[in-house]
Structure 1
Amino acid sequence: MKKTDFFGNEKVNFDKLLEFGFYLKKYVYYYTKIIVNNQFRLDVIITSDGKIDTKLTDAKT
C-alpha cells in the first residue's frame, strides 16, 4: 500500500486533539468513529512526533 501525504506541511495541534474526541495512551493519540450507517470503523492514530496513521475496517467483522 502506498502512503500519501494528505496534509502537506501541516503540523498536528496536539492541544486540540482531546477536545475533538481523541484519547491519549502512552504518548499516542487515538480516535475511533463508526461511520456510514454503522458499516465501517475509522481509526486514527497520531504519534507524539506527528505521524498520522488511519485504518478503515468493516464494522461487522
Structure 2
Amino acid sequence: MARRAIVLTTAYMPPVDYVEAIASAELVLLEAHEHYQKQSYRNRAEVVGPNGVERLVVPVVRPG
C-alpha cells in the first residue's frame, strides 16, 4: 500500500481542513523555503470573544 504524504505551508491558526489533512496523512512535510507575502492572512487570525471579534496578529521580526 502506498504511503499517503502531504506537503503543507506553515499556518498560524489554520482552518479545520488543514488540521484534518494533517490528521489523515501518514507523513506530513512542511515547506521550509516558501515565499512569505507581507500583510497577508498568514500571520493574522480573528477569534470571537465576549466583546465581539478580536484580531490576533503575530509580529514578524526581521533579521539584523
Structure 1 length-normalised TM = 0.30
- Between 1 and 2, higher relative CO (CA 8 Å, sep ≥ 6) is seen in 2
Question: Which structure is larger by alpha-carbon Rg, 1 or 2?
Answer: 2
Higher strand proportion:
1
Higher helix proportion:
2
Structure 2 length-normalised TM = 0.29
